[in-house]
Amino acid sequence: MIEFEAPKPIQMMDTALETVAVNMMRPKSRYFDEHEHEIPWDYINFMHMAMRQTGAGSLAPTEKKKVDEQGKPRPRIGYQQLAFTLERLSWGDVGMYLCTPGGGLGAAAVEAAGTPEQKEKFLARFKGDKPVFGAMAMTESQAGSDTSAIRAAAVLDRETNEWVLNGEKIFVTAGHKALCESDGFVVVWATIDPEAGRAGMRAFVVPANTPGATVTKLEHKMGIRASDTVSIVLQDARVPFENLLGSAEVVKEPTTKGFKGAMATFDATRPLVAATAVGVARAALEELKSMLAERGIEVRYGLPRQKMTNIEREVVDMEVLLKSAWLLVIKAVWMADNQRPNSKEASMCKVRAGDIVTKITQRAVELLGPLGFSRDYLLEKWFRDAKISDIYEGTGQINRLIVARQILDYSGRDLR
């Protein structure tokens, strides 16, 4: 049964997360927005130390105890806890949250597509003394939403038993920190059989400082400017055979383990992206209500809509949007924790959260007019931060297609 109240372990960490958001993130939001490629090391080092002290290791859905003190089975809440954490930190500053040390999408890909031995080997580096970052590289200039168009290639050198990777990846979140600023890695999606289409897709763990794997560009972005987004060129980059996640066997069917591994990664992470969007939307809505209250405009809850002012109705409608998006997130992460297929729910909450964060932040700016547009306040920044939630890890249009296919029981070929 889905619980709408946060589990007690999550409630207990709320105060700590709010303290970080209020005292460490909000005061630096504007600075790192204006100094885009400067890394927030104070925040990174603090979070690394805090996660080590609490045993978290990194922002990952890991749980140590399977039973409680009485020996009864303990409910799995790893993804739920992560969703609450990300919502709170994104309320503080979503760009800085994206700089939190840990595996990120790279670790999620290892979890989704790797063998038990690979998980143990590659994820252990996030438990060390220094902050470490992971990233995932899938997008190419001709392959955004259409992953079957990926051209990056991996060829096995049988003499050395190494994979040789060539290609270029763009819009890699945290790619610079993963390859150049820590002992991390980037999970690169490439094809081992171009004629097999999606069946030939595989994920390769490319460790930091691998010769031939080079960061060639740091993007200048509209929002989430504290987070680095890069282009990576692979030129005869060699990785050991065992750095391929899963099997190297190509079975030429519409979907295979390689492509399913990519999609399973997104089923796990799209609800978490949605949680970050909810955090940004909540920040904007709370700031709007606070600034209205300072000017004598309070929302009179409980009145019929026809007796409310237009601003009151708009605020109430925004609160409904916010709560509906959050409930979809809770359902999707609850299903992930209980190991239930959640592809439809993951895409649904991603669509909804991407929509509402854009609408709420835009309307908050509009209702406050010059104050909302002013850089003296963070509302305009949250407006710029918001849109990416509807774009990365599957655009709103693609996720709508996924939901429609799931509801109508259509394949990708049937409904494009």
User: Given 140, 287, 380, 393, which residue is catalytic?
Assistant: 393
CB 257 within 8 A of CB 247: yes
Instruction: Please name which of 188, 165, 193 lies closest in space to residue 252, comparing C-alpha atoms.
Output: 193
Q: Secondary structure of the chain in the HEC alphabet?
A: CCCCCCCHHHHHHHHHHHHHHHHHHHHHHHHHHHCCCCCCHHHHHHHHHHHHHHCCCCCCCCCCCCECCCCCECCCCHHHHHHHHHHHHHHHHHHHHCCCCECHHHHHHHHHHCCHHHHHHHHHHHHCCCCCEEEEECCECCECCCHHHCCCEEEEECCCCEEEEEEEEEEEECHHHHHHCCCCEEEEEEECCHHHHHHHEEEEEEECCCCCEEEEEECCCCCCCCCCEEEEEEEEEEEEHHHEECCCCCCCCCCCHHHHHHHHHHHHHHHHHHHHHHHHHHHHHHHHHHHHHHCCCCCCCCCCHHHCCHHHHHHHHHHHHHHHHHHHHHHHHHHHHCCCCCHHHHHHHHHHHHHHHHHHHHHHHHHHCHHHHCCCCCHHHHHHHHHHHHCCCCCHHHHHHHHHHHHHCCCCCCCC
Cβ neighbours for 65, distance < 8 A, ≥ 6 positions apart: 74
- Of the candidates 391, 27, 396, the one whose C-alpha atom is nearest the C-alpha of residue 222 is 391
The whole-angstrom separation of Cα 136 and Cα 232 is 11
Backbone angles phi, psi at 137, to 5 degrees: -120, 110
Q: Distance between CA atoms of 122 and 240, rounded to whole angstroms?
A: 13
Active-site residue flag, 393: yes
Token pair of 126 as six digits:
């996030």
Any idea which residues carry the catalytic annotation? 393
